[in-house]
A = this chain, B = another copy of it.
Amino acid sequence: MGKNLTSRAEDYSKWYNELVVKSDLAENSGVRGCMVIKPYGYAIWEKMQGQLDKMFKETGHENAYFPLFIPKSYLSKEASHVEGFAKECAVVTHYRLKNAEDGSGIVVDENAKLEEELIVRPTSETIIWDTFRKWVQSYRDLPLKINQWANVVRWEMRTRLFLRTAEFLWQEGHTAHATREEAVEEAELMMNVYADFAEKYMGVPVIKGTKTESERFAGAEETYCIEALMQDGKALQAGTSHFLGQNFAKAFDVKFANKEGKQEYVWATSWGVSTRLMGALVMTHSDDNGLVLPPQLAPIQVVIVPIYKGLDQLDAISQKVDPLVKALRDKGVTVKYDTRDTHKPGFKFNEYELKGVPVRLAVGQRDLANGTFEVARRDTLTKEIVKAEEIVDKVVSLMDEIQENIFKKALDYRKEHITKVDSYDEFKKVIEEKGGFVSAHWDGTVETEDRIKEETKATIRCIPLDAENEEGKCMVTGKPSHKRVLFAKAY
């Protein structure tokens, strides 16, 4: 299997697109902007889902399911929300097709026009808050902590596999609280859950922060985010958690009787991560040979490739491998023993390298004679010979080592790519030539933010939560600033 993969240095964007398709993660479909997530890609997404779902449940959330469709009037109830989503939504206007009278085929039946158009959900705040009104009466019904795994549609004009697609899969959490403080706490908690997931499972280091007003979610009072850095120096927003204030409670009239019996509006949060995480995963770790997957999310953690001629040799190898497969599975390691006789070992090596399988074991006649295995690490592309009696421990410890190593590598890259600058000229130079995050003073106005975006294509990724107070001057206007913010070009 020749990989024929464009290198990152040659064309990072092309490398990404080719890699996603060639490694069987996803492909474009016949429907504009909508992707097909292929079995190998979906298996990674399922692992992400499984872990996130566990973390949501451990923090007291329950899953539910709300309608795909949102009546147009619902979307309009929260002013900034409709402003944010109306321009890119799929609109259902009819509920029937019929045979054309002129025999030209199947056409929309104009007699089956909906009284009110339905929007395919771009996000579900409106339909969910319309439901929460029925679920919340008293302080005893709060907090209400709901999550939904669903598909959503945003009619993006320029799409890219996983990073920006018209339809994508995600989870959206929606919670209702009795007090502002509790809602803010929830929004921060979920940002932290996302950060933990990204770092511990995806091996992707992230910076936690808040968005500026102009980058906030449509309808939020505060948007918390986690920002990752890709290998081409561009940032990627990997998850957001919103404190929605009482905006949706007021729009949908969701009140509760407090302990004193007084009616109050409920406080809200919402938070989500999507199949976009798949893009972040690919772009953080992978190399010119293909995917590099963290053991925690790899559908196959270890592959064993036999090197043999004829069935007798394969039998001899299998006698050694079969108990090893069992021993590794007993330790919770996902193993594939690839005995296909339709492909040569070299083809298989290439294939599993392309697919990012963390550890590859090879075993041939000499290994049989010596009682050894050849162990190859995908992350470092190094090989070593390990004795059969040590192989299980070796593989088990490699799972942790590789997980830690790829995180560290990504963290080192990010550390090298956060640059403090104090002048706009320097800023432009760094953004253009080095990339990465640029830490700079900004005067806090939308005007300056817009000007920087227009002139450099860099946006404020976040105001980092751990940013220290530091008196300074806006690099553009010279006006006073008390904190540095992080800029970057972004996906």
Residues of B within 8 A of A38 (CB): 64
Within A90-119, the residues touching B (CB, 8 Å) are 90-98, 105-106, 108, 117-119
Query: Shortest Cβ distance from A157 into chain B, in angstroms?
Result: 9
How far does the alpha carbon of A97 sit from the alpha carbon of B70 in the complex, in Å?
13
The answer, yes or no, to whether A46 is at the interface (CB within 8 Å) is yes
If the complex has contacts A76-B105, A91-B93, are A67 and B35 also in contact, measured as CB distance less than 8 A? yes
If the complex has contacts A39-B62, A43-B62, are A130 and B30 also in contact, measured as CB distance less than 8 A? yes
- Contact for A92 among B30, B43, B90, B127, CB less than 8 A: B90
Within A122-167, the residues touching B (CB, 8 Å) are 127, 130-131, 134, 140, 146, 150-151, 153, 155, 167
Query: Shortest Cβ distance from A258 into chain B, in angstroms?
Result: 15
The answer, yes or no, to whether A321 is at the interface (CB within 8 Å) is no
On chain A, the number of residues with a Cβ less than 8 Å from chain B's Cβ atoms is: 62
Assess whether B86 is in contact with A106, with CB atoms less than 8 Å apart.
yes
Residues of B within 8 A of A69 (CB): 31, 34, 90, 167
Query: 0/1 per residue, A67-87, Cβ < 8 Å to B?
Result: 111111011100000100011
Residues of B within 8 A of A131 (CB): 27, 29-30, 36
Assess whether A86 is in contact with B90, with CB atoms less than 8 Å apart.
no
Query: Shortest Cβ distance from A92 into chain B, in angstroms?
Result: 5
Residues of B within 8 A of A36 (CB): 64-67, 131
Assess whether B91 is in contact with A108, with CB atoms less than 8 Å apart.
yes
The answer, yes or no, to whether A361 is at the interface (CB within 8 Å) is no
Query: Shortest Cβ distance from A205 into chain B, in angstroms?
Result: 28
The answer, yes or no, to whether A59 is at the interface (CB within 8 Å) is no
The answer, yes or no, to whether A42 is at the interface (CB within 8 Å) is yes
Assess whether B30 is in contact with A68, with CB atoms less than 8 Å apart.
no
If the complex has contacts A34-B69, A43-B62, A70-B31, are A88 and B96 also in contact, measured as CB distance less than 8 A? yes
**Which B residue sits closest to A62, measured CB to CB?**
B39
The answer, yes or no, to whether A375 is at the interface (CB within 8 Å) is no
Residues of B within 8 A of A96 (CB): 86-89, 91, 155
Assess whether B86 is in contact with A95, with CB atoms less than 8 Å apart.
no
Query: Shortest Cβ distance from A375 into chain B, in angstroms?
Result: 28
**Which B residue sits closest to A83, measured CB to CB?**
B99
Residues of B within 8 A of A62 (CB): 39, 42-43
Most buried by B among A65, A106, A150, A151: A65
If the complex has contacts A127-B29, A167-B68, are A95 and B106 also in contact, measured as CB distance less than 8 A? no
The answer, yes or no, to whether A120 is at the interface (CB within 8 Å) is yes
Assess whether A65 is in contact with B82, with CB atoms less than 8 Å apart.
no
The answer, yes or no, to whether A463 is at the interface (CB within 8 Å) is no
- Contact for A94 among B46, B91, B167, CB less than 8 A: B91
The answer, yes or no, to whether A342 is at the interface (CB within 8 Å) is yes
Query: Shortest Cβ distance from A390 into chain B, in angstroms?
Result: 32
How far does the alpha carbon of A94 sit from the alpha carbon of B120 in the complex, in Å?
11
The answer, yes or no, to whether A486 is at the interface (CB within 8 Å) is no
Residues of B within 8 A of A313 (CB): none
Residues of B within 8 A of A169 (CB): 65
How far does the alpha carbon of A66 sit from the alpha carbon of B31 in the complex, in Å?
10
How far does the alpha carbon of A436 sit from the alpha carbon of B31 in the complex, in Å?
45
The answer, yes or no, to whether A37 is at the interface (CB within 8 Å) is yes
How far does the alpha carbon of A43 sit from the alpha carbon of B191 in the complex, in Å?
25
The answer, yes or no, to whether A63 is at the interface (CB within 8 Å) is yes
Assess whether B91 is in contact with A63, with CB atoms less than 8 Å apart.
no
Residues of B within 8 A of A119 (CB): 97
Assess whether B118 is in contact with A31, with CB atoms less than 8 Å apart.
yes
- Contact for A67 among B31, B64, B97, B108, CB less than 8 A: B31
Assess whether B91 is in contact with A97, with CB atoms less than 8 Å apart.
yes
Assess whether A90 is in contact with B65, with CB atoms less than 8 Å apart.
no
Query: 0/1 per residue, A1-42, Cβ < 8 Å to B?
Result: 000000000000000000000000001011100111111001
How far does the alpha carbon of A106 sit from the alpha carbon of B27 in the complex, in Å?
35
- Contact for A68 among B42, B75, B82, B120, CB less than 8 A: B120
4 closest A-B pairs by beta carbon, nearest first, are: A34-B67, A39-B62, A86-B97, A37-B65
Q: A34-B69, A97-B119 are in contact. List 6 more A-B contacts (CB 8 A).
A: A30-B130, A30-B131, A31-B67, A39-B63, A88-B95, A89-B97
5 contacts between A and B (CB under 8 A): A29-B67, A37-B64, A42-B63, A87-B97, A92-B93
